[in-house]
């Protein structure tokens, strides 16, 4: 194993936490090597120990962690056995930021909110270089330029909240690369970003990695991202390594059963979405035919939701944000309408305006209630609105913050019934128990609190809560985005099964094109508050009409390394000839 050519050698790394009555083995016997200039993808679901491994390389684990094994980093001044040095030691502080750079997932919270971008980048430089004053600022501006941020000098004076997510992540990368590290640790750096932004950030990381011949440890849960970037892949599960191999081997000939299972669960774009000869690949669409027969249950016409952003001294709006601008679509009984777009495109606002969480500033929303009549939702008030809410419910994105931690499962699921005026406790209890079993949990869990459940189970509770009033229309707002691959797959199956048996109509808001391509019958694309394209899923993926839709589609990372390489070469050829 010992190899002078290796940049990083992790041998038999163990990390455990002693709890009051048990021990948590977070990382068990990990071996991992990274060569200079090599990109190693570390893939795993949450709790697999991948982030903790990266922290161990920097010796920045929680203080209660107990470690054994060795982490050897071949630095500029010879090899350093990381775990033998104290967390606060000079040796470690010189490595961090100086020779090992790290970028994090949340570009909003990973930068200090009260310091300017320039202050933060220059801080790293002052810690590790002799640059001062003007030279310091020159170098910082040079770095802004390196990560392709516009107006490098001006950028230094900006604060994180003034930048978009993608720009913040670029600043983060600039900070990590400021002292020419030989190893870059990237912990889910694109997970919080839109597909289009993700694609540009991945490109940037690849470019810089090649330019500076850096070793990169790229942690992600997304196989598509790995396929775009990695030379080798390590698959982790519950603190152990399931398998490590060359990228092609992992993707086309996975050895471990766990890898094979994950591979089979990854949502993929349909073949026809990537084929050159579309007609040959497009399957006959029975869904499309049945859709025409089903009746329309939701008619959205010229929906507008404008928020005032600036008022003059008389309180009149002088500037407004057109979050939803003139959006029209209809949804038929039993279908899934997928609403996609980048963050800030207004897709969630559409959902909230339709459900009347917001009072739309214009347009109409007609909903066919079980009484078989259309109701104008925008005009409903008070009691009639509350009654109507029984028929339309919502499942939220974050299973952690969307359940009140101080309410039992019974109270959580029963709450919509209580809001509808139901006072019979036994009835509420029975109904909650029934739904809990319906979503695959046990009825005897009714008296527990949300913290006793995993993310996937919580999302099931959220679904049960949405279904308790027997709605016919359910809005799914990124309802599987926060879940791990395998849990997301199970949740999708559950949603699909519920839709069929309960004849539910879904409005599915998501940024995940691969996932929605297998679920929705029709797709609508939102951009800057407008619905730029709407049509059948097949038509959309096979032949998107708008340039914006094509851009979205092209940005989706494909879990197919050969294809990713071919695409990249084609793009480079194009760039050369142009």
Compare residues 104 and 258 and give the one whose CB is closer to other proteins.
104
Q: Does 106 help bind other proteins (rule: CB under 8 A)?
A: yes
Tell me the per-residue interface mask from 110 to 149 with other proteins, x by CB under 8 A, - otherwise. xxxxxxx------xx--xx---------------------
Query: Does residue 105 bind other proteins (CB under 8 A)?
Result: yes
Asked whether position 94 contacts other proteins by CB under 8 A, the answer is: yes
> What whole-number distance in Å separates Cα of residue 367 and Cα of residue 372?
9
User: Between 115 and 429, whose beta carbon lies closer to other proteins?
Assistant: 115
State yes or no: residue 96 binds other proteins (CB under 8 A).
yes
Q: How far is the CB of 184 from other proteins (least distance, A)?
A: 11
For residue 381, the minimal CB distance to other proteins (Å) is: 33
CA distance 575 to 144: 23
Beta bridge partners of 246: 232
Question: Does 172 participate in binding other proteins (rule CB under 8 A)?
Answer: yes
In the complex, minimum distance from the CB of residue 205 to other proteins, in angstroms, rounded to a whole number: 16
Query: Interaction with other proteins in 18-77: which residues (CB under 8 A)?
Result: 58, 60
CB 427 within 8 A of CB 421: no
- Which contacts qualify for 162-169: CB closer than 8 Å, 24 or more apart? 163/117, 164/197, 165/107, 165/108, 165/192, 165/193, 165/194, 165/197, 165/343, 166/107, 166/193, 166/194, 166/197, 166/200, 166/201, 168/107, 168/108, 168/111, 169/103, 169/107, 169/193, 169/197, 169/201
Q: Which stretch binds other proteins (CB under 8 A): 168-176, 496-504, 516-524, 536-544?
A: 168-176
| Among the listed residues 136, 175, 241, 353, the single contact to other proteins using CB under 8 A | 175
Nearer to other proteins, 88 or 295 (CB): 88
Provide the minimum distance between the beta carbon of 123 and other proteins in the complex, in angstroms, as a whole number: 6
Secondary structure in 3-state letters for 85-143: CCCCCHHHHHHECCCEEEECCCCCCCCCCCCCHHHHHHHHHHHHCCCCHHHHHHHHHHH
# residues near other proteins by CB under 8 A: 32
> In sequence order, which residues have a C-beta less than 8 Å from that of residue 529 and are 6 or more positions away?
322, 323, 324, 325, 327, 345, 346, 349
Q: CA torsion angle for 265, 401, 56, 36 (degrees, to 10)? A: 50
* In the complex, minimum distance from the CB of residue 95 to other proteins, in angstroms, rounded to a whole number: 8
Q: How far is the CB of 269 from other proteins (least distance, A)?
A: 31
Selected range binding other proteins among 154-162, 210-218, 358-366, 428-436, rule: CB under 8 A: 154-162
Nearer to other proteins, 105 or 348 (CB): 105
Closest approach, Cβ 185 to other proteins, in A, equals 8
Whose Cβ is closer to other proteins: residue 91's or residue 434's?
A: 91
Of 236, 252, 90, 360, nearest to 244 by C-alpha is 236
**With binding defined as CB under 8 A, does residue 279 bind other proteins?**
no
Residue 238 Rama label (left phi>0; alpha psi -120 to 50; beta):
left
104 lies in the site for other proteins, by CB under 8 A: yes
Please provide the DSSP assignment of 14-28 as one string.
EEEEE-SS-EEEEEE
Q: How far is the CB of 355 from other proteins (least distance, A)?
A: 29
CB 27 within 8 A of CB 17: no
Q: Which of 41, 75, 97, 215 touches other proteins by CB under 8 A?
A: 97
Cα–Cα distance for residue pair 138/136, rounded to 1 Å: 5
Tokens of 288: 């499309």
Residues, the chain:
578
Q: Which is nearer to other proteins, 101 or 334 (CB)?
A: 101
**Which C-beta is closer to other proteins: that of 159 or that of 449?**
159
Selected from 16, 25, 93, 496, the binder of other proteins by CB under 8 A is 93
Residue 159 near other proteins by CB under 8 A: yes
Distance (Å) of CA 84 to CA 59, 71, 435: 9, 9, 53
Cα distance between residue 375 and residue 9, in whole Å: 66
State the minimum distance, in angstroms, from the CB of residue 24 to other proteins. 18
Q: Residues 482-521 vs other proteins: string with x where CB under 8 A?
A: ----------------------------------------
- Minimum distance, C-beta of residue 75 to other proteins, in the bound complex (Å): 13
d(CA 345, CA 357): 18
Edge-to-edge, what's the strand order for the sheet holding 296-311? 317-332, 296-311, 362-368, 374-376
Q: Which of 162, 180, 317, 442 binds other proteins (CB under 8 A)?
A: 162
Site for other proteins in 301-320 (CB under 8 A): none
User: Which residue among 7, 15, 52, 95 contacts other proteins (CB under 8 A)?
Assistant: 95
CB of 485 to other proteins, least distance (A): 23
Comparing CB distances to other proteins, the nearer of 159 and 307 is 159
Q: Which stretch binds other proteins (CB under 8 A): 156-164, 296-304, 489-497, 537-545?
A: 156-164
Token duo for residue 413: 């699921």
Burial class (CB in 10 A: 0-12, 13-18, 19+), 322: middle
* Adjacent-strand bridge partners of 13: 30
Give the interface with other proteins as residue ranges (CB under 8 A). Answer: 58, 60, 88, 93-98, 101-102, 104-106, 109-116, 123-124, 127-128, 159, 161-162, 172, 175-176
């Amino acid at each position: 194993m010992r190899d002078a050519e290796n940049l990083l050698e992790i041998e038999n790394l163990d990390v455990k936490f002693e709890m009051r009555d048990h021990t948590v083995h977070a990382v068990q016997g990990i071996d991992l090597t990274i060569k200079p200039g090599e990109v190693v993808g570390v893939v795993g679901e949450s709790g697999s120990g991948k982030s903790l491994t990266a922290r161990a390389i920097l010796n920045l684990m929680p203080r209660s962690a107990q470690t054994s094994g060795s982490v050897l980093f071949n630095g500029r001044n010879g090899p350093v056995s990381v775990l033998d040095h104290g967390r606060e030691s000079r040796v470690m502080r010189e490595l961090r930021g100086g020779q090992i750079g790290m970028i994090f997932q949340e570009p909003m919270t990973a930068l200090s909110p009260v310091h300017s971008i320039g202050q933060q980048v220059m801080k790293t430089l002052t810690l590790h270089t002799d640059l001062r004053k003007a030279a310091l600022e020159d170098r910082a501006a040079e770095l802004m330029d390196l990560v392709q941020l516009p107006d490098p000098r001006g950028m230094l004076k900006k604060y994180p909240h003034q930048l978009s997510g993608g720009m913040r992540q670029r600043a983060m990368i600039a900070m990590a690369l400021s002292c020419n590290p030989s190893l870059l640790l990237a912990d889910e750096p694109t997970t919080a970003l839109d597909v289009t932004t993700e694609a540009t950030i991945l490109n940037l990381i690849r470019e810089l990695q090649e330019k500076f011949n850096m070793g990169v440890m790229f942690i992600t849960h997304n196989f598509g991202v790995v396929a775009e970037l990695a030379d080798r892949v390590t698959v982790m599960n519950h603190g152990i390594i399931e398998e490590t191999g060359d990228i092609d081997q992992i993707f086309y000939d996975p050895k471990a059963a766990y890898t094979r299972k994950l591979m089979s669960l990854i949502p993929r774009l349909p073949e026809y979405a990537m084929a050159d000869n579309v007609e040959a690949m497009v399957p006959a669409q029975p869904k499309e035919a049945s859709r025409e027969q089903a009746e329309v249950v939701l008619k959205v016409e010229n929906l507008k939701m404008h928020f005032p952003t600036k008022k003059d001294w008389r309180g009149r709006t002088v500037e407004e944000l057109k979050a939803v601008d003139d959006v029209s679509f209809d949804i038929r009984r039993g279908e899934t309408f997928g609403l996609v777009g980048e963050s800030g495109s207004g897709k969630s606002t559409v959902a909230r305006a339709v459900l009347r969480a917001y009072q739309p500033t214009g347009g109409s929303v007609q909903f066919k209630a079980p009484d078989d009549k259309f109701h104008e939702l925008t005009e409903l008030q008070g009691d009639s609105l509350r009654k109507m809410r029984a028929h339309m419910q919502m499942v939220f994105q974050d299973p952690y913050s969307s359940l009140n931690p101080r309410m039992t499962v019974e109270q959580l699921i029963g709450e919509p019934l209580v809001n509808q005026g139901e006072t019979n406790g036994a009835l509420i209890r029975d109904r909650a128990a029934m739904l809990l079993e319906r979503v695959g949990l046990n009825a005897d869990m009714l008296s527990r609190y949300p913290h006793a459940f995993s993310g996937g189970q919580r999302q099931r509770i959220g679904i049960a809560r949405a279904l308790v009033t027997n709605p016919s229309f359910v809005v799914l707002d990124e309802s599987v985005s926060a879940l791990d691959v395998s849990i997301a797959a199970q949740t999708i199956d559950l949603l699909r099964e519920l839709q069929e048996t309960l004849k539910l109509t879904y409005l599915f808001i998501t940024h995940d094109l691969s996932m929605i391509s297998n679920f929705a019958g029709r797709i609508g694309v939102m951009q800057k508050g407008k619905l730029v394209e709407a049509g059948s899923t097949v038509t959309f993926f096979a032949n998107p009409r708008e340039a914006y839709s094509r851009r979205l589609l092209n940005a989706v990372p494909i879990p197919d390394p050969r294809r990713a390489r071919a695409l990249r070469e084609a793009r480079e050829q194009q760039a050369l000839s142009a």
